[in-house]
Amino acid sequence: MTKLSVNINKIATLRNARGGNVPNVVKVAQDIEDFGAQGITIHPRPDERHIRYQDARDLKKVVTTEFNIEGNPIKKFIDLVLEVRPEQVTLVPDAVDAITSNAGWDTVVHADFLNDVIGTFKNAGIRTSIFVDPDRTMIEGAAKVGTDRIELYTESYAKAYEAGNKNAADPFAEAAKIAHANGLGINAGHDLSLANIKNFKTSVPHLLEVSIGHALVCEALYVGLENVVNMYLNKLG
């Protein structure tokens, strides 16, 4: 079964919009685990506009499944990850002012940088994953810099599938085969939803984990958080 890691950034966005601590992101994370999700993902950004750095510290105390922290490895982020020591860190090359992630790493241009950062995290016993597009050169470059896993950036899949392309997952299936042949674990995320996750799961081999946040929280507005978590689990089974 492909594991479901729920990104709770949007829960923090809702909290921050009103001030105070409602909804409580720590309690929501615990509930999501109780509902059956196999992981909790957060993506703190430097301006802390949704998840705050303190949230990462607070969540580490209570998360009993896999804790995954995503982000651009600037010094502040590296220091936080080394302090919190989640089970997994996912490196994403998003700009400081990015609304959301919009590209994978160029693992050739940034090879030396990635090698150093990945080595730092792996020396601390933290599994590493890096955000990449479904491109052979980038995937082979990921293997060379020593990452444990890649996270396939799936926005292009989601858009193509919504537009009616039933073969939208083909580039990702091929990318997964290349990654697996190079000894990499395969995660995926970005714009995956109840509408497209089943097709992606059945099309892409060796898929270990998906990270889903925005769509899942939006869908939960209609069917409820517990229901939507279990709906994803059923499609990933």
Active site residue ranges? 43, 70, 190
- Measured CA to CA, the distance from residue 220 to residue 10 in angstroms comes to 12
Structure tokens at 12: 């923090």
Structure tokens at 60: 């580490």
DSSP bridge partners of 4: 210
Q: What is the CA radius of gyration of the chain?
A: 17
Contacts 24+ apart (CB under 8 A), 145-148: 145/107, 145/111, 145/114, 145/115, 145/118, 146/115, 146/118, 146/119, 146/122, 147/91, 147/114, 147/118, 147/184, 148/122, 148/184, 148/185
- Measured CA to CA, the distance from residue 80 to residue 121 in angstroms comes to 11
